[in-house]
Structure 1
Amino acid sequence: MLDGQVAAVSGAGSGIGRAIALRLAAEGADVVLAGRSAGPMEQVAEQIRTAGRRALVVAMDLKDPASVDAAAQAAVGEFGRVDVLVNNSGIGGPSAPLVEMPLEEWEDTLRVNVTGTMLACRAFLPGMIARGSGSVVVIGSVTGKRPLVNRTPYAASKMALVGLVRTLAWELGSSGVRVNLVSPGGVEGPRIAWVLEQQAASRGISVEQARAEFAGGAALQRLVDADDVAHAVAFLASDRAAGITGEDLNVSAGLVMY
């Protein structure tokens, strides 16, 4: 459980981020919701407050270092500390063969998904290090381990997060701060719907066929629900995972087992 702890979740207004924020609050945490779209995050914050926990919405643009630093300062100013950081924000990037990939779209994907994660860690970690405790959970993807046609910048960015997490776990181990990665498979929602549409178009098959093939490749024969990911994040954030750091936990319905 996370009773009395403070968790910061980026991209908490929808999808996986929303599910994570609500799950952490259900386990007793007060929650900082950080991202660019205040409206959806305010709705999530209201749900958290109704459930009896505190919530703060802060603006944060992962492409703007000053914005990330300001979000961390606002969180500490409101709650006094942050015990858990969940780096959930990211973008899907373009869908095109690499030889046709505009450089700016490649760089934008890595800037948000990789550099943005680094900036958030750099901004939120000093307090955890000073207290000698804390948990960082980064949301990766099984696409960091297996091919996804025409999505090289996304795949490269998610693979980069594996190296970031493992190395940061070593750097912070002596300080008592743990760092772990969660790699979801296809999560029900608008993003996987877009991916399947792109895959269907590139292969000349129907979206229904693409979805059936994708789900059929998983041992559980299904996609993943956002709540599946949220439960895994809550576990890694809590003392139940006190002996776990540097790990990459698949939540993929058995699509990936490595």
Structure 2
Amino acid sequence: MRIEKKTVVVTGAGSGIGRELCIQLLQKGANVAGVDINPIALQETRQLSGVNAERFKEFAFDITDKEKADRLPQEVVDHFGAADGLINNAGIIQPFKPVADLTMEEIQRVINVNFWGALYLTKAFLPLFLQRPEAHIVNISSMGGFIAFPGQTVYGAAKAAVKLFTEGLYAELRATQVHVTIVHPGAIATNITENSGLGKPKNDVNAAQTSMALSASKAAAIILAAIEKNKFRVTVGRDAALLDILYRLNPRLATNFIGKMMKKTLQHT
């Protein structure tokens, strides 16, 4: 889908990849409806983008609120006149601990944000998109959506659900003008740990993760290029690409390898 002059909805627009997606979409000539639970962060995104409310409109709400999600398409159309794309980017990780130590409240929160939030907004916008000459839905999964990361098992399960939901949606919409893309980012330099309500990572862990991580700006550029090429699936970062290959060749070896890596992380959290 050509991005210029389109109106795209981006969730998690207040920071990280979401913020970079908004800025780069605006630079490419799109209008953006930015969604985030944090209204101040949304204002910062608009200020950084250097545009006014005619190009970037802030919608501050919790994407797990189905009633508000259902109202969003009409609100976007009322402001911009149309809606052509949806990037379900918002997501949170779980506390770094095994399933046995997680509370049901922690589990439900991770699944609600990562899966149900994306599903609510997709369902809300799909009837509108089917009436457009062309539209695009992008769902952000994770490396954890195709390979297990101990200590992030529920997060991975939610992202795996996003993966299969998106692939099924792609198959259902193949004969329509609505394109669908699933994205599997690797390690990206964002503040997802803080945004997930888990506080700041310890310096040694954070430094190690940041040194290996792709910048949010580069990740956003890869995702937008995938939209413009109507790609079905894209991995973001060398780590995601390599793990994808390893998992396809030997799932058990790949799972054991990640298990050893995550054991070191869990010891430092």
What TM-score results when the alignment is normalised by the length of structure 1?
A: 0.83
Q: For residue 224 of structure 1, what is the aligned residue in structure 2?
A: 214
Provide closer, same or farther for how the CA distance between residues 126 and 4 of structure 1 changes in structure 2, counting only shifts above 3 A: same
Aligned equivalents of 1:4 and 1:255: distance in 2? 31
Confirm whether residue 188 of structure 1 aligns to residue 189 of structure 2. Answer: yes
Q: Tell me, yes or no, if the aligned pair for 1:93 and 1:105 is still in contact at 8 Å.
A: yes
Q: Tell me, yes or no, if the aligned pair for 1:49 and 1:55 is still in contact at 8 Å.
A: no
Confirm whether residue 39 of structure 1 aligns to residue 40 of structure 2. Answer: yes
Aligned equivalents of 1:189 and 1:29: distance in 2? 24
Provide closer, same or farther for how the CA distance between residues 38 and 100 of structure 1 changes in structure 2, counting only shifts above 3 A: same
Residue 115 of structure 1, CA deviation? 0.9
Q: Tell me, yes or no, if the aligned pair for 2:92 and 2:193 is still in contact at 8 Å.
A: no
Aligned equivalents of 2:194 and 2:42: distance in 1? 22
Aligned equivalents of 2:123 and 2:101: distance in 1? 34
Residue 149 of structure 1, CA deviation? 2.3
Residue 106 of structure 1, CA deviation? 0.9
Aligned equivalents of 1:209 and 1:64: distance in 2? 33
Q: For residue 234 of structure 1, what is the aligned residue in structure 2?
A: 224
Give the partner amino acid of 2:132. R
Q: For residue 166 of structure 1, what is the aligned residue in structure 2?
A: 167
Deviation per CA, 1:48-85: give whole Å up to 9, x if none.
Answer: 35389711111232211011112222111111211111
Q: For residue 64 of structure 1, what is the aligned residue in structure 2?
A: 65
Aligned equivalents of 2:195 and 2:45: distance in 1? 24
Q: Please, what is the CA RMSD of the aligned residues? A: 2.6
Aligned pairs for 1:95-110 (under 5 A) are 95-110=96-111
Identity %: 25
Residue 189 of structure 1, CA deviation? 2.8
Q: For residue 203 of structure 1, what is the aligned residue in structure 2?
A: none
Deviation per CA, 1:96-150: give whole Å up to 9, x if none.
Answer: 2111221121122111111110001011121111124211111111122223221
Q: Tell me, yes or no, if the aligned pair for 2:46 and 2:52 is still in contact at 8 Å.
A: no
**Partner of 1:94: helix, strand, or coil?**
coil
Aligned equivalents of 1:193 and 1:211: distance in 2? 15
**Partner of 1:113: helix, strand, or coil?**
helix
Gaps of 5+ in 1: 201-205, 216-220
Q: Tell me, yes or no, if the aligned pair for 2:87 and 2:139 is still in contact at 8 Å.
A: yes
Aligned equivalents of 1:119 and 1:174: distance in 2? 23
Provide closer, same or farther for how the CA distance between residues 51 and 232 of structure 1 changes in structure 2, counting only shifts above 3 A: farther
Residue 235 of structure 1, CA deviation? 1.5
Residue 191 of structure 1, CA deviation? 2.8
Q: For residue 74 of structure 1, what is the aligned residue in structure 2?
A: 75
Provide closer, same or farther for how the CA distance between residues 119 and 255 of structure 1 changes in structure 2, counting only shifts above 3 A: closer
Aligned equivalents of 2:224 and 2:52: distance in 1? 17
Provide closer, same or farther for how the CA distance between residues 208 and 256 of structure 1 changes in structure 2, counting only shifts above 3 A: farther
Confirm whether residue 254 of structure 1 aligns to residue 225 of structure 2. Answer: no
Provide closer, same or farther for how the CA distance between residues 5 and 210 of structure 1 changes in structure 2, counting only shifts above 3 A: closer
Provide closer, same or farther for how the CA distance between residues 74 and 100 of structure 1 changes in structure 2, counting only shifts above 3 A: same
Gaps of 5+ in 2: 245-269
Q: For residue 218 of structure 1, what is the aligned residue in structure 2?
A: none
Aligned equivalents of 1:88 and 1:132: distance in 2? 24
Confirm whether residue 151 of structure 1 aligns to residue 136 of structure 2. Answer: no
Provide closer, same or farther for how the CA distance between residues 141 and 41 of structure 1 changes in structure 2, counting only shifts above 3 A: same
**Partner of 1:138: helix, strand, or coil?**
strand
